[in-house]
Every structure is written in C-alpha cells, then in structure tokens.
Structure 1
C-alpha cells in the first residue's frame, strides 16, 4: 500500500527529514515576536504507525503556506519535540515542535571570560561557536567591555542579557532551508514586508478567511502608563569623586508621566556610557506603550517587518508600523482526494509598534549572582608568566587571578586587593604573589566585579610555622624575590614562660624615630652583630648610657678607636684599672696633669725615661728620694743626703745650699 499522502496542491506543506509526503500538515499554530524564541507546533498525518523520531530531532523542518500570488511564507525551525498522539481514522497523527537554532543555546551552560571586547563581538563569538546562522543589521556604537563574565548560565541567557543591556534585539528571517537570526538596534534595521508593504484595514471580519487574504480587522489601540525617567549611578575607583550619574527622561504629557526608576550600580565606568544605558532602559520601558492589537489574514506578517496601514477610519492610525509579535493558526480538513483548498483557513493575530518610536526589548534576563566568596589562584599576565610578583602598571596594586572554573586559562581582569588600611599614601600594603590562593568576593554579587579580600593556605603553600607544634606562634613572614631563600619576619611566641617577639631582616633594618625611643628591659639585653660592622650616628644631641645597678663590660677582639671632638671627662667613683698587653702611647697636644689623693706609683719592667724639651721640675712637700742600684739620693728640707757610691762627672755647683754635701 502506498504510504504517501498528496500535499502538492494544498495551502500548507510540511518539509522534514522524512520523505516529502510521508507527513502532511493537518494543522499548524505558532507564536513569534521581537526578541522572542518562536515556537511552531505542527500536527501532521501519516499512513505509518511508527516514525523514527531520531531522524527529526535536532534537524531543520519547515511549514510552507502558499499565497495567492504563488509566493510561500515559510515557518522554519529545528525539531525539538516529537510526539505520536494516536489515530485519525485510518491515519496516524504526530505533533512536532519547531524552535529556532538559537533555542539550542538554552540547553547549554558555561563559565567563560572575555577581555576588552564589545558586547556585539562577544555575542558574535558565542553564536559562531554554536554554529548559529545570523546577520547584523546594527547602526549603533557599542562600548568596549574591559571584563565580561559568563557565569553558570546558558549561552542564550548570556547573549540575551548582553543584547538587552546594550539595546539590541532580534528577529528571524525564514526560508525553506531555515531561519536566520537578525540582530537589530534601530529603525534602519528593518525593511518593508516583501509581499505586503501596505495593507488595508477592513473594519470587520468578512468572507472566507484563508491564507490568500491580506486584510486587517478587529483593531484595538492600547496605551500604558510607564516609567518616565531613568537614573543610574555608579562608582569608578580611578575617579572616586566624579559624578557618575546617567539620566534619561521621556516626553509624555499624561499625569504621573515622570515616575523615576533609579538604580545602583548601573554597571558602567564612564558617565557617557551611563547616560546611554539609562536611555536604553527608558526606551525599553516605553516600548510597551502605543501598541496596536489586530487580527487578520496576513500570513506573511513576521516580527521585524515594516507595514503601512491604510483605510483606517482614524487618520492617526494610518501609518507605518513595526510588526512586534504574531500568532498564526492554520488548519486543513483532509488530505484525501477531493478535499478543497479552502477547507481550513489561516487566522492571525498581530501586535504592531509605531515605527517612529524606538523599540527595545525589556531587560528581562537576570544577570547571575555569585552568592558568597570564591577562591582563585594568583597568576601573572600572559607574557610575564615567569614573574613572581605581577601587579598592574597603574599603581593600584591589582593582580590577576585564575578562577578554578576557568577552563580556557583566560584569567581575570586586574583585581583590586582589600588591605587592612587604605589612606592617602598611608595604610597597609600586602600584594598577593603568583601562586597564592586568594579569597575573592564580588561587589553586589556581580561576576564582573571581583575583589580580593584575603588569602588561604593549601597543600602547596603551607603555613610559615608548622602546626600543631607551633600553634602558639603567629606573625608575618615574607619571602625574598625572585627565587626566595630569604625572608623578613615579625613573629610572636605566646607559649607560657617562652613568650617572645622575633624580628628578622634578611638584609638591612632601617628604623626612624622622629622624637624619642624608650626601651625597658627586665633582665638581659644582647645585640649580636655577625660578620659585619655596627655604626651609630647621632646627628644632633647627646648620647648617654646609665647603668643604674650592675656592671658594664666591653670586649673588643681587635682595635678600639675613640675620637672626641672637644673634651673628654671620666668620673670613676672607686678604682680604675687599665691593663695593656703591649705598648701604650699617650699623646697630649697641650698640658697633662695627673692628680691623686694618695700615692702615685709608676712601675716598669724596663727603663723609665722622662724627657723634657726644657726643665723638669720635681716638687715634693717633704722630700725627694731617688734610688738606683745600691745608692740613695735624698733631698729634704735644707738637706741633700746621698748613701752609697756617687760619681759626679763635672763640677758640682750648689745653688741655695746651706752646707756642702758630706
């Protein structure tokens, strides 16, 4: 038995991956609109009791409605549902749901990052990756986005919210081979309907309504009170005091027409972009006003087409409109021989938008939020992967991170780092280094606005003080760059009876005290200096050391040099002892006086030589005794005594001597 059904002479024909006449249309209904994913539901009949749906799912199908002048209006899409729904007499009924290829993006989810691209460039990249047929009909300029994140959302939701934010909407151009996506942003994106640039308003339903008729009836004009003003505001840390407000206002005259919609943050970094975003939001809100709702037989109406209406009794209604939405219904009686072409009519319902008013899609797609912090790994920018510390060149201390959900190693934007303090050239400064695991928060939960708030240790990056053995220790320990092997450290030990603070400088330690420094040491003060020198310079002022109780010891392994610019005074309450292992030289530029309250003893293992350039004067209150060998020479009050042999090589002259030497 022949399984084919004749659809060659019918108003509707179904094209599918199956043989042309294995499935024929019994009825068809569909809805399509600007920035909407159309849905066409096809009820088809077949002589076959079973059909392999795998041959249809994911593949292109179309319904063609033939017009009165030989043209065909195609409704094309991807088969996304197929259902066997029982018998129709001796035939079998099947239902197919057709959606655009863009709908396939609703069945995806991804996390991805884009750098320094416009929204349109990002959208194009996503569409091409998913092999979506599209064309651009855009006239506007789009700002470059420094950083844009797709986070745990479908490709469709991602491109939809980008389009909505930037004033882009879309529609589809249908052909027998498929539906092409068209990106639009203004009136110039649209053209008149190819077969029906002008259509008459008939006023009421008339005659037989079928696919060949092109008239409108059942007209209604709708107004809606909408937001009349949009104000956005944001903050840019590179210009913290700048006015970042963006505003846009409508010109409607009805009461309450100036209702304001205010939002923060506006998600922009320049005020001009804020004004642009505010205008787009206002136009999106106003686009729901001035709608016309009509019925008709214009099967070739499609969203995105322009049509001019004539013969409406209200002159203001006779003008050009942008078709915003269409609902199509079509049914046929039977496909057996003898069935007439007019057995099942086409009926349509349409929403029209005045073409002289901007159209924008509503901002209906929410941006995903990141609820809570994430961790990420600090990385260097590409081309500087060998760097251990890589910060932005603008002086804000920002670093790049790679999130653990990033599969493409695209890295983040430059991310600011929260510090303990952040003043005007004062505060804390700790720059996360490459390889560190940091904690990242997101301002307002926005994936596009990360902020580093801390860092954590992991298996590769262990703590500086081993645990649990050193659980009483805390502090800060750095690492010398590049290559490490050195560190600076401030450590606190809080173990009972072992409390201490350890300060380690890998190379130099600089301490500047503008006024006074006071240290109180309870027991012992030690300053070991390794294989280097110590230098203390007091630019102005005094140096005083007081040992209130106890001793002072100074041990010098080599030389000790003391230079005093003026006078030097030493006061010793008790005894003073100086031991010199070799020679001692004392050089006095002027006079030298030695004064003792008791005796003065000079003892030498060898000779003692006293030399004077002029006179040597010995003054004694009682006597002067000179002893050498076995002789003694005594000078007393009025007497000179000599004991032992004495030799005077020259004449002896007595001056003021009362008696000769005996």
Structure 2
C-alpha cells in the first residue's frame, strides 16, 4: 500500500468532520459484515442517525481501496475531550442484520426456500434490487414451512443452510449487493492481479505475511433418513461418501428434511460437501485490502509448490489503526486476517442455525371453507389455524393437511369438525409437521353436559351434519345407584356380529318399535322364558314354518279367537296335550289338514265356536282324548276325513250343534267312548262312512231334529226318524230296540 493510509466514515446525519482512529471490519461467506469504529467527533452525535446508511472507506493515498456500505447500528459515547470533542465507539452492520431485530411465528405454504427468503426480505422493507440469485439446482417446494420464535435472520439462514445455499456480500458501490448461490462459479477472483506472494520476510509491500494450513479427519459417509406418510412403504434412507482420504465414521441424521428419494440423494451430497468444505482450512495475515470474502486468489512464492493453487477466501477481518494520537497527522496501518479453503472444493455453509424442536403441545382451531362443518381429505386429515398465527386466514388455506391421532383400536376413525379447538403436537418436534391430537372444550365450544354435576358421566357424541341438533351418542353413567350405559342413534343403527353374540340381562328388558320389526335367523332359533310371556298384536299375525314345528305346553293352553280360526296342514298333523285342550271361538273354527292328523290329549278337550266348527283331513285321522271331549257350536259341526277315522275318548264325549251335525269319512270310522256319548244337533245328525263302528262303554245319545238314537252296552233304541247310512255295513251290538 502507499505511504498515506486513511479511513473515512460517511453518514449524512453525522456530518463529515469525523476522525477515524481504529476500525475492525468482519466479513465472510454466509456471514453479515460488521464494523467496529473508534472515532473523534467535533461534538455530540445525533442519535437520530441510528439505522441510517453509513459507509466506511479505506483510503490509500486518498484513493478508496475498500468500501463497506453498512447501517449505523449503535453509538457509544466513550469520552468527552477538550474543545467540545467527543470520542465514540460506533458499530455498523449490514442491512440484513436488521432482520435480527424482527422475531415472528408464522407459516408459509407451497413455496421453495428462496421464495420464502424473498418474502421475508420484502416484508422487512429491504430493497429487492440489492439481492440476486445464482442457483444451478431447482429447489423443492415446501408444502408447509414454519418460522417459530426465530428472528427473521435466523429463519432465512436456517433455510439457506439446509439447502446448501450461501450468500456473498459485495461492497463495491454505495449500496450493498448480496448474491445467493449454490455454486462456486458465482464467485469472482480478487480484483487486480490474482497472484499473491507469500513473503514472511517482508514487513512492507502487498502479500501474505503469515499462513498456516490445518487438515482434519472428517466423517467418511453421510446417511440420511426420513419418513413420508403419503408413501409409508417407500425407503427414503440415503448414504453418500465424502471425498477425503482421511475420513472415518458415518454421520447419520433423522429426520433429515425431505420426502422423496431424489431429494434425499441431493441433500446427502450437500451434507458431504458441507463436511468436505471444512477438511482443509488455511489461516493467514496479509496487507492486501483486495481480499474479500468469497473471492479467490492464487498463492505463489512458497517453497512448497503443492501449496501453489487457488484458494477461496471464507472470512476476512480488516484492521485499520492510527498510531499517532492525533489522527490528523497520519501514521496509520492496515492489515487483515483471513481464512481460506482450496478453490476446487465446493463451498457449503455450515449449519449454524438449527431448526426449533417443539416439545410442548399447541392449540388450534379446526378450519375449512366457508359454511363447511367437516373438511377433510382422502386420509381423513384436517386443517387448522394456530392461535399464534396472526397473519393466516381462518379457512381452508390456514395450514397444510395434518393427520389426526386416532383411538388405538383397529380401524377406528374420528374426523375433526370445523370450529373445534384441537390439541396439536409435531412429528419429531418439527414445526413443519403438525399432528392433530384431540379436541378440547372451551367456553364458546362447551361440553354437551354440565359439570361438575355430570362428573360421573363419560360420553362419545357426534353431532349431525349439517347441524340439526341431533347426535349419535354412546354414554356411560358411573354414578353409584344410577349406573347406566346409553346408546342413541339419531337416525339409523346397524349392529353386525361376524360370529357369536351373547346378551345377558339381569332383570327386565323392554323393546319399543315405532313401525315394523323383522328378525331373520339363518338357522335355528331357541327362546327360553323362565316365567310368563305375553304377546299383543294389534293387527294381523302370520307364522310361516317351512319345515317341522313342535309346540309343547307343560300346563294349560287357552286359545281365544274373536273371529274365525283356520288351521291348514299339508302333511300329517299330530297334536299332544298333557292336560286339558280347549279351543274357544266367538265365530267359527275351521281346521284343515292336507295330510294325516294325529291328536293326543292327556286330559279333556273342549272346542267351542259361536258359529260353525269344521274339520277337514286329507288323510287319516287318529284322535285320543284321555278325559272328556266337548265340541259345541252355535251352528253346524262338520267333520270330513278322507282316510280312516279312529277316535278314542276316555271319558264322556259331548257334541252340540245349533245346526246339522255331519260326519263324513271315506274310510273306516271307529269311535270308542269310555263314558257317555251325546250328540245333539238342532238339524240332522249324519254319519257317513265306508264302515262305522261305535263302541260305547256307557250310554250314547244321538239327538237330531227328527229323532233320537240311544245306545247302551245292553240295548239300542231309536225314537223318531233316524238314518244310518254306510256304503258297507252298520253294526249295532247289544240288544237293539228299534222304534220308528
């Protein structure tokens, strides 16, 4: 440098008569330029200048050799001197450092890292013309990205470091120029001659006075892992090797912040280049003011020719000082200290800014489009607006889709409703990966029950949608003495049991069906009732048995029919009653069997009808009554058997008909009565059969409208008109007395 060195601070609000005593300027790749200046001012400086542009210039024979366009960050009054002068410590910073004064909690959606950086810089009011990009790689779009309790500067540096993007600050003019780059071709060599001599024997002249190199062992491989719930079976693990010959071990990161194998490959390579960038570091001292962070130079003048190569400057610290107490008399010096790396090694910024890890829960409101009550996607995910979000809208754009934690029971699913307050956690603590956990009640969204009065009540309740005031509910009441399980279906209910189902009711059961009820049993059904059973049917009842049916009554059975009764049997009919068999009909009794019929009654049998009694059997009929048999009708009594008829009554048999009494048998008829046989008809009594055998152990009376036939074991008598008709023969045993 020339014989006359100087430094000048230019700031419109501070005036021009400022004497710089010392200045230290720090600059670096992905590092904001700062300057600490000691100066003498003619008087007290105006604090209103804080934040204003201020430029520090390094002069060589009055020519500007370095220029640092910065902002005035701090003024510190150090000493009041004579003649009103004041000594100050002045701190300058790059305009991006103002982002460190802004902290926020906000989210960005569907943007890549550089688009987010641009938005943050613009929101701080910084001029976009100061910033440019030189990117060779297309960045992946981030579905959801959260700045969480970070300064704007920390946030954008974190994003850039993750993507392997550095920034270099150029200070050639009155305004700063920042370049965001992911490749070395975006960086230029130092101004002028790029060759710089290593001249430790000299104390004057441009060159490097001291230079050391440090080579370190680094990780041999980088392994990354992550998980994408949209492709859960896709293997995302990736491994890349560093280029160092002196390496050992594997550097593993999970979660590494990517969702596809291609992104993983790219990031693994970037992580390796980040490690390689710190493997060889040179540190030195020079008096070359042209040294600037990001630029490269060629080293010459050493005894080790293998060191003669290009080196990229990573950091440079400039030192200016006036050695004479009176700055106006000169005697200043300049030197810098620097760090560098081989230019052939790609530079990646070290990741100094780590992403926040959220260990605490957060609260949000479930959101959706205007008017929607449920807003979800094919995975049942939800969207929500966090209470910390002061910028986002409370609609379907409020967040990314987030999964909702479900009950740990099989294929359970519960969807969050719009307007609910939800508890949220984050996968691996990553603010970019939120998860909905559970609903929380609030004063505006209270519980469906009043507490603490309902403190013993637990419920699962889902309101109808669109809202109608109805809900499905499963409720448990655990209060002593009033314990209850309550199930409510606001409309339809379906219960499906794949295998067996067992229900046990300790006391009573009541079922109430408003309209129809149907039971479909694929195989057998068994119903056992320990006490009484009462069935009331207001309309008609139909019983259809496709195969056999067995009915067993241990005691008495009473069938009361207000109208007619009709029994049709296509096959055989066998009925056994251990006690009395009674059939009462206010109107008629009509019984038909298309096959045979067998009836056994251990006790008495009574059939009574207000109108007629009719019996038709397509086959044979066998009837055994242990006690009395009574058939009574207000009209006719008709019995037709197309096969043989065998009737045995252990006691008396009484038949009374208000009309005719007709018995018609195509086969043989045999009637055996242990006691009295009485047949009484207001009309005719007709017995018609191929062969009629009447065996009476007591007395038999047939009383018709025209005559009387009386049979006893010893005699038979007829009074009036009595007609006996058989296609074969009529046999009356005993001592008949026929009177016409």
Report the TM-score range of the alignment, normalised by the length of the smaller protein: 0.7 to 0.9
Q: What is the number of residues matched between the two proteins?
A: 630
How far, CA to CA, are the matches of 2:197 and 2:341 in structure 1?
A: 17
Q: Distance in 2 between matches of 1:224 and 1:659?
A: 144
After TM superposition, give the deviation of residue 556 of structure 1 in Å. 0.6
**In the alignment, is residue 75 of structure 1 matched against residue 62 of structure 2?**
no
Counterpart CA distance in 1 for 2:118 and 2:724 is 127
Indicate the larger mover: 233-242 or 79-88.
Answer: 233-242
- The match for 1:36 is 31
The yes-or-no answer on 1:661 pairing with 2:739 is yes
Tell me whether 149-158 or 468-477 shows the greater mean CA deviation. 468-477
Give the Cα–Cα distance (whole angstroms) in 1 for the partners of residues 91 and 173 of structure 2. 16
Contact 1:230–1:248 (8 Å) recurs in 2: yes
Tell me which moved more, 633-642 or 549-558: 633-642
Q: Which residue of 1 aligns with 2:87?
A: 93
TM-score, reference length from structure 2: 0.78
* Cα distance change on mapping 1:302 and 1:649 into 2, 3 Å: closer
How far off its partner does 1:343 sit?
A: 2.5
Give the Cα separation in 1 of the matches to 2:737 and 2:212: 160
Larger Rg: 2
Aligned residue in 2 for 1:247: 239
Name the counterpart of 2:140. Answer: 143
Counterpart-to-counterpart distance in 1, 2:161 and 2:269: 12
CA, structure 1 residues 550+364, in 2 after alignment: closer, same or farther (shift >3 Å)?
same
Aligned to 1:377: 365
Map 1:516-555 → 2, pairs under 5 A: 516-530=500-514, 532-539=515-522, 541-547=523-529, 549-555=530-536
- 2:439 is the counterpart of 1:455: yes
Aligned to 1:6: none
Contact 2:244 2:276 (8 Å CA) reproduced: no
Counterpart in the other structure of 1:634: 710
Structure 1 residues 230-284: Cα deviation after superposition (integer angstroms, max 9, x where no partner): 2222233344444322222223234xx2233223222322233233323323322
CA contact (8 A) 1:139 1:188 kept: no
For residues 555 and 270 of structure 1, what CA distance do their matches in structure 2 show? 69
Helix, strand or coil at the partner of 2:444: coil
User: Secondary structure in 2 aligned to 1:122?
Assistant: helix
Q: Secondary structure at the match of 2:626?
A: coil
Aligned partner of 2:650 in structure 1 is none
Q: Give the secondary structure class of the aligned counterpart of 2:557.
A: coil
Residue equivalent to 2:307:
317
* Residues 76, 90 of structure 2: 8 Å contact kept: yes
2: distance between equivalents of 1:16 and 1:335?
23
Is the counterpart of residue 27 in structure 1 residue 11 in structure 2? no
Question: Structure 2: which 5+ residue stretches go unaligned?
Answer: 569-591, 600-622, 636-657, 667-687
Partners of 2:135 and 2:249 in 1: how far apart?
Answer: 31
Question: What are the superposed Cα offsets for residues 282-328 of structure 1, whole Å, 9 maximum, x if unpaired?
Answer: 32233223222222222232111222333333322322221111111
TM value normalised by structure 1: 0.87
Q: Give the Cα–Cα distance (whole angstroms) in 2 for the partners of residues 181 and 195 of structure 1.
A: 21
Is 1:129–2:123 an aligned residue pair? yes
1:117: how far off? 1.9
| Cα distance between partner residues in 2 of 1:272 and 1:69 | 55
Q: Are positions 1:597 and 2:626 aligned together?
A: yes
**Residue 295 (structure 1) aligned with residue 324 (structure 2):** no
1:585 aligns to what SS in structure 2?
Answer: strand
What is residue 268 of structure 1 aligned with on the other side? 258
Is 1:621–2:604 an aligned residue pair? no
Q: CA deviation at 1:22?
A: 3.5
Task: Give the number of the structure whose residues are more often strand, by fraction.
Answer: 2
- Relative distance call for 1:158 and 1:192 in structure 2 (3 A) is same
Equivalent position SS for 1:146: strand
Tell me whether 243-252 or 351-360 shows the greater mean CA deviation: 243-252
Number of the residue aligned with 1:50? 44
Superposition pairs of residues 243-642 of structure 1, within 5 angstroms = 243-254=235-246, 257-332=247-322, 343-380=331-368, 384-393=369-378, 395=379, 397-409=380-392, 411-421=398-408, 426-530=410-514, 532-539=515-522, 541-547=523-529, 549-587=530-568, 588=592, 589-592=594-597, 594=599, 595=623, 596-606=625-635, 607-608=658-659, 616-617=688-689, 620-622=694-696, 623-627=699-703, 632-636=708-712, 639-642=715-718
623-632 vs 463-472, greater mean Cα deviation: 623-632
Deviation at 1:201, TM superposition (A): 3.2
Greater length-normalized contact order (CA 8 Å, ≥ 6 residues apart): 1
* Partner of residue 197 from structure 1, selected from 191, 194, 198: 194
| Match in the other structure for 1:210 | none
CA distance in 2, matches of 1:19, 1:243: 61
2:630 partner SS:
coil
